[in-house]
Chain A
Amino acid sequence: MSQSISTQEISRTHPAKTYNKNWQKVKAAIEGYLYLLPSLIILTIFVFIPIVTSFKLSLTRIAPFGNKTIDVGFGNYTRLFSDPDYLNSLKVSLLFTLSTVPTGLILAVTLAIALSYPLKRLSWFHRLLIFVPIVISSAVTGVLFKWIYHPVVGYLNYLLSLIGIQGPNWLSSKDWALISVAMAVVWRQLGFNVIIALAGIQNIDGTYYEAAKVDGANLWHRVRHITLPLLSPTLFFLFLINVINSLQTFGEINILTEGGPGGATNTMLYSIYYDAFVGTPFRGYASAQAYLLFILILIMSFLQFKGFGKKVHYQ
């Protein structure tokens, strides 16, 4: 108390000290900004400004002759919705999400339940084998599965032949190409999904199961009435992040099918890449597509961030 009075007195009587204090504050602020500056510069140039330039770009197209850029307003956007190729890519992305996300989540929860049991032996070994895809890149995943799907000497068709089924030519069949890519992506995502689901399951209070046992609940009842409801924040989080991942899939498609056959695996992102970088570049048109994809992903990540607090709360 007496100290604060004396400081006040001093600052009243010695204006130089106040000046000094303010200067300290300015110095501290400058120092703080300097620490942030490198990150801020990079993020501004390569993340924040592109949000704007990408939008501007989406309102233009290149004139057929020469390098002149023409302003077309929302022309690219309106054109998208009458472009059968783009409508097809919307459909493909939807189908792709529908074939990766539920499969991935069901597999992840099943395996996480199996791994949650405290086995005395080998549990490190099971985890090692099931988690390992998390470190495999999308390009390598594409290559590994291209070999498995090989129409003549591939392991998948060989195994099918053992049970008397003649396997299709997975990657060049319009009916099977998308599912083939989806299986590769489910594989790459599996480790991540199981890790998150397992962490969620292990955070459930063991006394719930004790109580259920007293009531004579069987395994299915325990999973259905305890595990799944209490896991729902985790499942919601996994659902969103898997939808986002499926919309961002690129490497596997590029290596396995290049968007083919006949557009069967031409997702929204692959269509953006194709229009912007393969053959004659239509970067304005591609940017309009990128913006629509951005809005879609933005909605998902917004929901994810809103739910994130809940997830942390559960831990």
Chain B
Amino acid sequence: MSASPLQTAKRKIHWGDVSLQLFLIGVGLLVAMPIFLAIFTSFKLPDDVTNYPPTLLPEVWTVENYITAWTSTPFWRFFANSLIQTGVIVFFQVFLSILAAYAFSVLEFPGRDLLFYVILASLMVPFQLTFIPNFLTISRWGKEVHEALGPNTYFALTIPFLASAFGIFLLRQFFLTIPKDLHDSAKIDGASNWRFLWQILVPLSKGSISAFGIFSFLSAWSQYLWPLVITDEETMRTIQIAVRFFLFDQERGADWGAVMASAVIALLPTLLIFLVAQRQLVKGIAMTGLKG
């Protein structure tokens, strides 16, 4: 049963409920306000954006700022870059985590638990330590091996993130809850480990796998520091970096309408995921204590 310190004895009048409703609606609107402001601003006429006093809603609704954002820089390219970068990371993180989690939960071989702890330990190494050596590694590969392995490539944007210790841990915990008999009887029926994994275990774990997929998508889409340092050609920038273009325009100063339009485009995919999968996402965070 859910518990709340707010619960009081039997009440006849629900004034407590009413004031709590008002409080929560007020707080909720305040919290979500920065997003509303960005959306409303992005639909204002470019000339109205910096009017004083600022209005909440546009006087005239227009998509002019979106057209500016979309046409004055290769914006579709930034968006596509983000989609490719995120797609590759999510695919590999999910695929490789399934494989490793399977080995760590169902298969048996010497050194298994030791290796698991080694992988778990990697969760304690922050990206803030590894990004300088990783930048140097990629730069060296670009010079010494091949350009395609160097900076300003999709390879560089994605390769350090293709494996996820978090995902391995998460999926292993779930695979462990599946009865071992299932694997044993599949083996007796002559199914290989590979077939058991994809035909039985993965379909049974759809919930956990898709929850991890969502985490993976959110964190890949939101990446900032790595794309900022590993790309410097405009055509390889991701959308998170692109929001800077209208903000730090040296000649004209910030074009706030276009800035807000680009910010809304950048937050749209994750916002949609949130609206569709809110329950699953919240459950995943509450269960693991992690954001991915």
For the complex, what is the distance from the CA of A287 to the CA of B134, rounded to whole Å? 12
| CB of A132 within 8 Å of the partner chain | yes
Chain A proximity mask over B101-129: 1 for CB below 8 Å, otherwise 0: 01110011110100100010011111111
Are A202 and B34 also in contact (CB < 8 A) when A48-B122, A144-B263 are?
A: no
Residues of A within 8 A of B126 (CB): 244, 248, 293-294, 297
Closest beta carbon of chain B to A60's beta carbon, Å: 12
| CB of A114 within 8 Å of the partner chain | yes
Residues of B within 8 A of A176 (CB): none
Residues of A within 8 A of B274 (CB): 131-132, 134-135
| CB of A165 within 8 Å of the partner chain | no
**Which of these, A133, A135, A146, A222, contacts B247 with CB under 8 Å?**
A146
Nearest residue in B to A295 (C-beta to C-beta)? B129
Residues of A within 8 A of B103 (CB): 32-33, 35-36
Among A36, A50, A293, residue most surrounded by chain B Cβ atoms (within 10 Å): A36
Indicate if the CB atoms of A283 and B218 lie closer than 8 Å: no
| CB of A273 within 8 Å of the partner chain | yes
Residues of A within 8 A of B270 (CB): 135-137
Indicate if the CB atoms of B129 and A293 lie closer than 8 Å: yes
Are A35 and B266 also in contact (CB < 8 A) when A196-B286, A226-B5, A287-B132 are?
A: no
Residues of B within 8 A of A111 (CB): 27
Are A57 and B99 also in contact (CB < 8 A) when A39-B163, A129-B32, A311-B289 are?
A: no
B contact residues, range: 35 or more
Closest beta carbon of chain B to A205's beta carbon, Å: 7
Indicate if the CB atoms of A39 and B97 lie closer than 8 Å: yes
**Residues A249-280 near B (CB distance < 8 A):** 250-251, 254-255, 269, 272-273, 276-277
Indicate if the CB atoms of B289 and A114 lie closer than 8 Å: no
For the complex, what is the distance from the CA of A35 to the CA of B101, rounded to whole Å? 9
Nearest residue in B to A195 (C-beta to C-beta)? B285
Closest beta carbon of chain B to A38's beta carbon, Å: 5
**Which of these, B1, B96, B159, B278, contacts A131 with CB under 8 Å?**
B278
For the complex, what is the distance from the CA of A98 to the CA of B228, rounded to whole Å? 28
| CB of A70 within 8 Å of the partner chain | no
Indicate if the CB atoms of B52 and A152 lie closer than 8 Å: yes
| CB of A160 within 8 Å of the partner chain | no
Are A255 and B289 also in contact (CB < 8 A) when A38-B163, A213-B9 are?
A: no
Indicate if the CB atoms of B28 and A241 lie closer than 8 Å: no
Indicate if the CB atoms of A29 and B110 lie closer than 8 Å: yes
For the complex, what is the distance from the CA of A109 to the CA of B165, rounded to whole Å? 30
Nearest residue in A to B193 (C-beta to C-beta)? A31
Are A36 and B4 also in contact (CB < 8 A) when A114-B20, A139-B240 are?
A: no
**Which of these, A28, A130, A208, A302, contacts B107 with CB under 8 Å?**
A28
Residues of B within 8 A of A190 (CB): 31
**Residues A203-219 near B (CB distance < 8 A):** 204-206, 208-209, 213, 219
Indicate if the CB atoms of B37 and A148 lie closer than 8 Å: yes
Interface 9-residue window, one of A8-16, A73-81, A120-128, A167-175? A120-128
Indicate if the CB atoms of B256 and A136 lie closer than 8 Å: no
Residues of A within 8 A of B134 (CB): 46, 50
| CB of B72 within 8 Å of the partner chain | no
Residues of A within 8 A of B24 (CB): 114-115, 119, 122, 126, 130
Closest beta carbon of chain B to A201's beta carbon, Å: 7
Residues of B within 8 A of A49 (CB): 133
**Which of these, B6, B112, B244, contacts A113 with CB under 8 Å?**
B6
**Which of these, B6, B218, B241, contacts A114 with CB under 8 Å?**
B6
Residues of B within 8 A of A134 (CB): 218, 274, 281, 285, 291
Residues of A within 8 A of B211 (CB): none
Indicate if the CB atoms of A117 and B133 lie closer than 8 Å: no
| CB of B137 within 8 Å of the partner chain | yes
| CB of B38 within 8 Å of the partner chain | yes
For the complex, what is the distance from the CA of A40 to the CA of B162, rounded to whole Å? 11
For the complex, what is the distance from the CA of A29 to the CA of B260, rounded to whole Å? 54
Nearest residue in B to A269 (C-beta to C-beta)? B128
Are A119 and B17 also in contact (CB < 8 A) when A135-B271, A251-B225 are?
A: yes
Indicate if the CB atoms of B96 and A39 lie closer than 8 Å: yes
Among A119, A144, A222, A305, residue most surrounded by chain B Cβ atoms (within 10 Å): A144
**Which of these, B128, B240, B282, contacts A127 with CB under 8 Å?**
B282
**Which of these, A116, A122, A277, A308, contacts B6 with CB under 8 Å?**
A116
Residues of B within 8 A of A204 (CB): 3
Known: A36-B115, A254-B224. 13 other contacts (CB 8 A): A35-B102, A39-B168, A41-B163, A53-B133, A114-B6, A116-B5, A119-B24, A153-B54, A196-B285, A206-B3, A227-B5, A248-B126, A297-B124
B interface list, Cβ under 8 A from A: 1-9, 17, 20-21, 23-25, 27-29, 31-32, 34-35, 37-38, 41, 50-54, 96-97, 99-100, 102-104, 107-110, 112, 115, 119, 122-130, 132-137, 159-160, 162-165, 168, 193, 218, 221-225, 228-229, 240-241, 243-244, 247, 256, 259-260, 263, 266-267, 270-271, 273-275, 278, 281-282, 285-287, 289, 291
Q: Which 8 A-B pairs have the closest CB atoms?
A: A129-B28, A137-B222, A32-B109, A199-B286, A42-B163, A50-B133, A35-B103, A116-B4
* A-B residue pairs in contact (CB < 8 Å), sample of 15: A33-B103, A35-B103, A35-B107, A38-B100, A39-B163, A42-B159, A51-B130, A117-B4, A141-B34, A206-B7, A247-B128, A255-B244, A283-B136, A298-B125, A315-B287
